[in-house]
Structure 1
Amino acid sequence: MTRLRVRLLTAAVVLLFGLLIIWLAGQLQPYEDVVEHGPAPQARSNDYLAAELFLRDLGLRVTHHEGVAGLESLSASGQTLLLLGDRRNMTPGQTDRVLDWAAAGGHLVIVAERLWDEKTGKSGDLLLDQLNLQQYSTRDLDNDTQVPQPSAAEQHPQLTKLYLENESAPAYLAFDTDFHLYDADNRAHAWANSAGATHMLQLQHGEGLVTALTDSWIWQNRNIDQYDHAWLLWYLTQDSEVTLVHRSEHDSLLAQLRRHFPELLTALGLLMLFALWHAGQRFGPQLSPANPARRQLQEHLRGSAEFLLRHEREQSLLQRLQQDIQRRASQCHPGFAQLPLSGQLTLLAQLSSLPPASIEQAMRPLPQQRLSATEFTRQVAHLQTLRNAL
């Protein structure tokens, strides 16, 4: 092949390759795809992150506070405390200090956590019990306690409505309609009702305010943008600094390890199990290794003989000795195996120079019944004497 042909072939391959690339490029179509990775780690660890960012966008100063301890050190004037965390571990002393803080001019926003127990006369929620606010399940309310039912023409009967002065339309809120707040002392000056229950009460407490809610899920990340939830948060915290307590207690070390390092806990558990198994008490004494000096040929032969005696009986052992004698006689006199039994006994007597009675007693057929130890020993001795004579 000449150089010209090589160049033409190379040019043709490059041209075809370029045309293929152009065709493939024409078949490709760009598109946009949005991949949802779910909420950010900050949102997963803080259910009220959206509410916090919303308040900061309004220009309010928002701070976190870990737990209810130390809240009495906050400045009461111009301060709103959103106590949204679990208060099951709140002590009576901490309850008194929080209420004293509110009485000094602070605005306390709390969530009712427990239902009122008529038998004990308390709910176990220390804050609500001291304020004499009672929470009931709407299923347990009688007709005299329930809020009057709305007419059929009323819009959104399942939503909670908050009416304000100089406003023509109420604010709509999606509180859980299974719970109802009751002001036993009739101190509330503002409230918000749904079709059959009250879900927000606001009352004067000393120089400050206390706002009680049946639930705070309306301000969580997935619900704050619905209805007028964000507006209510602004309305309760306007013109004040905000302290948010949404987690009053931290997860234990074990709970955090189970959440973040389950493989490590599994490995540690298996390691502890193996360690206990290794160090556990044995069910019997530990056997010391046998002395190598005891392992002699005589012991092996004796053990083998005892094994054969247990499993093959005396007849098999004696028969093997008789066969060994017949094999030795065949070596000394060819044709021994073809002789009749009487001829074999006569020939054995000639070869061994033993009396015929001894030969007959050694080579006689063996009985089927089990031999005694004395009879077995005597028969072995006769066979041994005959074999040694050959």
Structure 2
Amino acid sequence: MIRCLLLLLCLLVAGCTDYGPPIWKEIGYKGKARLNAYLAAGRFLERYGYTVESPAGWPDLESGAAMLIVPAAVISNESYVREISNWVAQGGHLLCLIDNAESHQDDWGNFSNRHLSRDERLPSSFEKWLAAMKLELGERGAASGKTTAERLNVDGESYEVFAESSTTVSAFGAPDAVFGQSAYGEGLITVMTDARPFRNRFISDHDHAAFLLALVKQNPFEGRIIVVRDAVQSLSDLLWRHAWPALIGLLVLTLFWLWKNMPRFGPLRREEGRTTMRDYDHHLEALGDFQWRLDRGAAMLRPLRESVLERAQRLAAIAQREDDLFAWIGERAGIGRERAERAMTHERPADGTSFTRVIADLQKIHLSLS
């Protein structure tokens, strides 16, 4: 019965709730298109008979590669620069993308490299190599705005392309632009400062697809088209991008565990309760004080004197010295007759010193009779 009432109450509360109209939010592609921002461009080129590959790491340029589409951030060291330089000189076509180029960047959100300077985004070795190829990269300040292109020309043909970037490129002294080309050896170097016209979300806009096909046709040699999607990201960067809530929770939990379990500078001092227990010498002191206040120690002297007197009389009878017992005791103990008599007969010592002296003499007599 109670379960039925709870169920009815839940249904009543749920029915009274007005959630309002649904809110739709576009979050982007799924699956392969989310991992590869140039998937649509690759499939478009495959429709025209080209072989398009998108390897996970750095590609093998010596195995029949005719064109390389790569983000500038991937060309991160001198070794890659030398390999690309030799490959272009032998007839390769390099299409280098500067801003908004890596696949992990979101076309529906803010691109992470918009907040970084050109020096932070581009490897210095690659930028020096481009300068040697007569392709100068520049950067416009925030006050100057971004460089925008609406039409780009390739081999005399004009294409409607929308591109916008704060990074500029100039070839052979031409004005700053978002697009530039330079021949090197038997090959060609193309720089596009805004990669969005070739990405999945924007390649169907304007003449972006036709512009990409025109760039591919510029290479007279046949071969594979290789698209490099991303620079190599460290494990820490990947974790922070995709699992930062879990990492923050784990960090807080770790700090709490350390605070709880780390050893202190010393053990916690335990509060000691009041106790009525006393040491043995305290008990003796208390008993002695009681006996002294009771009868000045007469009760303690009496049994000791009786024991000493009994043994002294027995030994004196054996030695036939019963005529003067105290003289015989004093002679045997080495303390004299007067001290022996006082030790055996003095009932109430006047003070503690006298009591101590009597006890000491009785101790000597006791030892002499043993």
**Which of residues 170, 182, 190 is equivalent to 1:182?**
170
> Aligned partner of 1:249: which letter?
V
Q: Residue 171 of structure 2 contacts residue 182 of structure 2 at CA under 8 Å; is this kept in 1? A: no
- 2:75 counterpart of 1:75: no
CA distance in structure 1 between the partners assigned to 2:81 and 2:203 by the alignment: 28
Counterpart for residue 217 of structure 1? 196
**Aligned match of 1:84:** 71
Deviation string for 1:40-78 (max 9, x for gaps)? Answer: 13323322222122222323211113344x5444435xx
Among 207, 214, 224, the alignment partner of 1:235 is 214
TM-score by length of structure 2 reads 0.51
Pick the aligned partner of 1:258 from 209, 222, 240.
240
Partner of residue 134, structure 2 = 132
Aligned residues: 226
In structure 2, stretches of 5+ residues that fail to align are 1-23, 100-116, 278-370
SS where residue 164 of structure 2 aligns?
A: coil
Does the 8 Å contact 1:181/1:199 carry over to 2? Answer: yes
Do residues 64 (structure 1) and 41 (structure 2) align? no
Query: Residues 112 and 127 from structure 1, CA distance in 2 versus in 1: closer, same or farther, beyond 3 angstroms?
Result: farther
The 3-state SS of whatever aligns with 2:231 is coil
Deviations 1:132-166 (A, max 9, x none): 311234679x9xxxx9xxxxxxxxx951231544x
Amino acid at match of 2:187: G
Q: Is 1:95 equivalent to 2:81 in the alignment? A: yes
Residue 150 of structure 2, aligned match among 159, 163, 169: 159
Kindly tell me: are residues 279 and 73 of structure 1, through their superposed partners in 2, closer, same or farther at Cα, counting changes over 3 Å? farther
Q: Does 1:244 align with 2:242?
A: no
Q: Which moved more, 1:235-244 or 1:260-269?
A: 260-269
Indicate conservation of the 8 Å contact 2:178/2:192, yes or no.
yes
Matched, 1:276 2:258: yes
2:183 to 196, 201, 204: 204
The CA deviation at 1:219 is 0.7
Distance 1:241 1:128 in 2: 24
**Do 1:115 and 1:135's aligned partners in 2 also have CA atoms closer than 8 Å?**
no
Q: 1:286 aligns with which of 268, 278, 294?
A: 268
AA in 1 matched with 2:259: W
The residue aligned with 1:172 is 160
Map of 2:337 onto structure 1: none
CA–CA distance in structure 2, aligned partners of residues 261 and 161 of structure 1 = 41
Aligned pair in 2 of structure 1 residues 124, 255: CA closer, same or farther (>3 Å)?
closer
| Distance (Å, rounded) in 1 between the aligned partners of 2:62 and 2:37 | 26
The alignment partner of 2:67 has SS state of: strand
* Inter-partner Cα distance in structure 2 for 1:224 and 1:44: 15
SS at 1:174 equivalent: strand
- The letter of the residue matching 1:274 is F
Aligned to 1:153: none
- Give the secondary-structure state (helix, strand or coil) at the position aligned to 2:204: coil
CA RMSD across the alignment: 3.8
Is 1:85–1:247's contact at 8 Å kept on the other side of the alignment? no
Q: Following the alignment from structure 2 to structure 1, what is the Cα–Cα distance between the partners of residues 141 and 246?
A: 47
Closer, same or farther: CA 274–161 of 1 in aligned 2, 3 Å? closer
Distance 1:178 1:289, change over 3 A: closer
Give 1:42's match in structure 2, choosing from 22, 26, 32. 32
C-alpha displacement at 1:197, in angstroms? 4.3
Name the CA distance, whole Å, in 2 between partners of 1:181 and 1:274: 52
- List per-residue Cα deviations over 1:292-328 (Å, max 9, x = no partner): 9x478xxxxxxxxxxxxxxxxxxxxxxxxxxxxxxxx
Q: Match of 2:32, as an amino acid?
A: Q
Q: 1:86–1:249: 8 Å Cα contact kept in structure 2?
A: no
1:99/1:41 CA distance change after superposition, 3 Å: same
- Unpaired runs of 5+ residues, structure 1, are 1-33, 117-121, 148-156, 297-390
CA contact (8 A) 1:92 1:126 kept: no
- Go from structure 1 to structure 2 and tell me whether the alpha carbon gap of 1:75 and 1:245 turns closer, same or farther (over 3 Å shift): same
* 8 Å contact from structure 1 (residues 201, 212) kept in 2: yes
Closer, same or farther in 2 for the Cα pair 1:287/1:198, shift >3 Å? Answer: closer
Which residue of the partner structure matches residue 13 of structure 1?
A: none
> Is the Cα contact below 8 Å between 2:78 and 2:125 reproduced in 1?
no
